[in-house]
Amino acid sequence: MCLLERLEAWDAQTIHCTSSTHQHADNPLRTASGLLAPCAIEYAAQAMALHGGLTAAPDQPPSAGYIASTRNVRLHRLSLHDAPTPLHLHAQRLSGDAQQVMYAFRVTDGEGAAVADGRAVVVLNTPLPAGS
């Protein structure tokens, strides 16, 4: 499931992507109530994953990662499906090593209004237990 549509900019520490998939009726995260605001974390996480792939050493495959925790998450609206398009997804790598990375993220709508922000820790190279 890829929710991102466009890579706008990136460097060693930051990434900026955009997407209008939050308005798609067939969005895989959409419920009968619409696309709820916590789904903004998944959009930001996909930007973080893309950033990890873009910044990986050329001779190394990108590492699989899993969100281990989120902190200080603020949701500024109840739903995403009615947010002005496109969503802007910003992530900034704050710290990290070969085992984990911490990002700050910010999601805004097409008019620049805040949708969600917070921090996420991504654990790398950690296999899931069998049966997960």
Has residue 77 got a pLDDT over 90?
yes
pLDDT of the residue at 128: 61
As a whole number, mean pLDDT of residues 116-127 equals: 91
- DSSP class of residue 57 equals -
pLDDT of the residue at 57: 84
What value does the mean pLDDT of the chain take?
A: 93
Q: Which amino acid is at 105?
A: F
* Cβ atoms within 10 Å, residue 11: 12
pLDDT of the residue at 64: 84
Has residue 127 got a pLDDT over 70?
no
| 126 vs 104: CA distance, rounded Å | 21
- The fold of the 6-124 domain, in CATH, is Thiol Ester Dehydrase; Chain A (3.10.129)
As a whole number, mean pLDDT of residues 40-46 equals: 98
Q: Where are the domains of the chain?
A: 6-124
